[in-house]
Structures are given as C-alpha cells and as structure tokens.
Amino acid sequence: MINEEQHCRLEELSRVFLKENGKLNLSAFRTKESCWMGNIMDSVAILDQRICPLNIEGMQVLDIGTGGGFPLLPIAMCFPEVKCTGLDSTEKKIRAVENMAKELSLNNVNLIFDLNEDFCNVKEVGNDPRFREQYDVVTARALAPLNVLLEFASPFVKPGGYIVAWKSMNTEEEMKESLLARAELSCELAGNFEYDLGESWGKRQLIFFKKRSKLNSKYPRATGIPKKSPLL
C-alpha cells in the first residue's frame, strides 16, 4: 500500500503529530500505535490501489474539516506533487496543522482560513470563486452525516470530480437519508470500498460520490442550516 520511503515519512508525521497533540489535544489518539492505526493508516486507505481505483497523483485535493490534519497531511507526505488544501473552522487546529506542515517541510499544503469574524463561513467560502468548484477531489473524515457532508463538500469539487467520505461499516441509514442530497447536489454514488485495519480496529469504508454537473447557486445554504435542516 505504501512504499518504504513513504513509510519513513509517515513515521516522521506520527512523531510530529504526537508532539503537537500533547500540547493542544487535537485527537484522542495519543500513543504511537493508536496514532499510526487510527489516524495514519486510516487516512492512507485512499492511496491503496487494491481497494481504491482513484489515482490522485497530480490532482488538487481539498480536505474539509481537516481537524488535526488527517487525511490531509498523510496524502501530502506521500504525494509531494499533489496540491493539498485543508479547511477547518477551529483556529487552534488550523494553526497546529500549519505548524506541522512547516516542521515537515511540506510545500504542497495550503490552509483556508480567515481569522476575522467570519472564520470559515460555509456560504462565503463555498461561493468564493477562488475555491468554488476548483478541486478534483474533496475528502472528509469524521465530519458529518452524508446528507450534510455532501452539502459542505459539493461547492468545492469540480464537475466530474469526486467527494470521498471515510465511514464505519454502519451507513445503511445514512445512505438512505442522503438520496435527496445526492439529487439536489448533482452527486452520484460512484462506489464504496472496504478496508480492514486489523485487530481491534476492524473494517471501515471509503464512500465515493462523483459530481455530475455544476452546482445550483443556492448551495451551500447559510452557515448552520445544513446541520439544522439537512436535505432529507
């Protein structure tokens, strides 16, 4: 799944993350083993061509709700030629990811944030021509139910591009509840791919949605509405 060079780079990421996590409590994974499996190996599932047919080399990737930088930083570490952008609404997390990217000398990582009053306003950022429909792949891990996640992600992905969601195996209800969102947001299910982290970590899946056409200008709705009144 990952070669020796990538493995070494990801071990360095683990070291840097655990140091930053000790200061800021970015994640519940505070040991080397839990960080490696729960953050890093989970993130790099998207890079495993045995389970995932999407080749992201040369693409522009946006990670929404990037949190502590996963899957943003592992993707950036493994593919230096991929332009990786992270978006989050929590200042301390954005600052932490920025610090880690600098320490790891990642020149392919960009962060979307505005420390003024409208920090990461969903509607404003989603309608900003610098970001709207500019990305080949939009990723989201542990962010929101699918119907909400698709409304967050679809403004950023190009027509013909993909939204990739990291999920547990228990998504039957989420999939049903996302039917209207998929229709409204021009997103079609492109496949789901299972992977096994082993031992106590168990099976998870990547769910892919392909964006068929340009998004209606009424989306995304104003900040807070997608969660309060999801498309059902």
Report the domain count for the chain. 1
Q: What is the mean pLDDT of each run of 10 residues along the chain (232 residues)?
A: 91 96 90 95 91 86 95 96 93 93 97 60 84 96 94 96 96 96 97 90 95 95 90 90
Task: Encode the chain in three state secondary structure.
Answer: CCCHHHHHHHHHHHHHHHHHHHHHCCCCCCCHHHHHHHHHHHHHHHHCCCCCCCCCCCCEEEEECCCCCCCHHHHHHHCCCCEEEEECCCHHHHHHHHHHHHHCCCCCEEEECCCCCCCCCHHHHHHCCCCCCCEEEEEEECCCCHHHHHHHHCCCEEEEEEEEEEECCCCHHHHHHCHHHHHHCCEEEEEEEEEECCCCCCEEEEEEEEECCCCCCCCCCCCCHHHHCCCC
Give the per-residue pLDDT at 120.
Answer: 59
Give the per-residue pLDDT at 224.
Answer: 86
Do 146 and 177 form a contact (C-beta atoms < 8 A)? yes
Is the full-model pTM beyond 0.85?
Answer: yes
Give the per-residue pLDDT at 117.
Answer: 42
Two tokens at 209? Answer: 């949605």
CATH classification at residue 73: 3.40.50.150
User: Which residues constitute the domain of residue 205?
Assistant: 4-228
